[in-house]
Structure 1
Amino acid sequence: MNHMETTIRTIRSLLAAAFLGGLAATAQAHGDVTPQAVDVSTLKPLGEQWLTENPYRGDKEAIRIGDSAFNQNCARCHGLGAVSGGIAPDLRYLPIDAETDEYFIGRVRHGVTRNGAVYMPPFEGTLSQEAMWAIRAWLDTVHEK
């Protein structure tokens, strides 16, 4: 076998390994989709009434909690650091304003279903309002235009 054939075989092997590795990563991308509890005991309680604007915007403790909560509950679909791999929307591009806050909380609370297919599960009853707003506070810190 000459040098060119060896090089071509090596390239084919590397491409096959990369492809199969990508399939394995995609198959496991969602991992354990059971929502994980979020400890919000250090945050100001928000009460029973659902807010439409993020009360924790810029709050360092909420951002810390939101970072962890996002990684535990959202990153499996929306990507680590909110950098989507295409499975779900890239949340870094959500505008930082009251209108988008209302949109965000509605989607997280009620989920997204189209033609009977669940694109995002509802988190109301699983994550508290405080946890959802903490996630939004963290998303503000990774915002891109």
Structure 2
Amino acid sequence: MLKKFLMAGLVAGTTFAFAGQALAHGDVTPQAVDTSGLPKLGEEWEETNPFREDGKYKARAVEIGSSAYNQNCARCHGLQAISGGIAPDLRYLEADYEGDEWFIERVTNGAVRDGKVYMPKFVGTISQEGLWAIRTYIDEQPED
């Protein structure tokens, strides 16, 4: 009887231990992004997304942005930018200057309320090219 009780306890303990791992957000530290194939944009921030227009770099920006978004943003903003309610649904971010201005503000400063970090700063870990690639990927997600 004691053996069955101990075995049941071991199984339950193991289940709870792995369940905690499955429900964890994982590493919330911004992960660097390989931007090979995109032009260097320099130190000063572009005011609007330089990869938004169809052209030589848009497809590469979307490809890089997809990977970078999934590594850095999806855990809170949802796969394909479809929010599950934790953070804003980025599909509704305007694809113009105003949306770009909000995007720059958030990736530069993060989001902190009452001393709690809701979104980390990404500048300094992810280059301007990588962040604009994420923005380009978000712009490509359908709203419906």
Q: Contact 2:29–2:120 at 8 Å: present in 1 too?
A: no
Which residue is equivalent to 1:88? 87
Secondary structure of the residue that 1:119 maps to in structure 2? Answer: strand
Shift of 1:32: 1.9
Alignment partners' CA distance in 1, 2:22 and 2:83 = 13
Structure 2 residue ranges without an equivalent (≥5): 1-15
Shift of 1:36: 1.6
Structure 1 residue ranges without an equivalent (≥5): 1-19
TM-score by length of 1: 0.78
Change (3 A) 1:26 1:144: farther
* RMSD after superposition: 1.9
Which residue is equivalent to 1:126? 125
Change (3 A) 1:142 1:35: same
Alignment partners' CA distance in 2, 1:84 and 1:26 = 19
Alignment partners' CA distance in 1, 2:95 and 2:64 = 19
Alignment partners' CA distance in 2, 1:108 and 1:26 = 27
- Counterpart among 27, 30, 34 of residue 23 in structure 2: 27
How many residues get paired? 123
The amino acid across from 1:128 in the alignment is S
Alignment partners' CA distance in 1, 2:142 and 2:73 = 16
Which residue is equivalent to 2:8? none
Alignment partners' CA distance in 2, 1:45 and 1:104 = 19
Alignment partners' CA distance in 2, 1:34 and 1:113 = 15
- Counterpart among 34, 39, 42 of residue 39 in structure 1: 34
Shift of 1:25: 8.6
Secondary structure of the residue that 2:118 maps to in structure 1? Answer: strand
The amino acid across from 1:122 in the alignment is K
Answer yes or no: is 1:54 the counterpart of 2:53: no
Which residue is equivalent to 2:100? 101
The amino acid across from 1:135 in the alignment is I
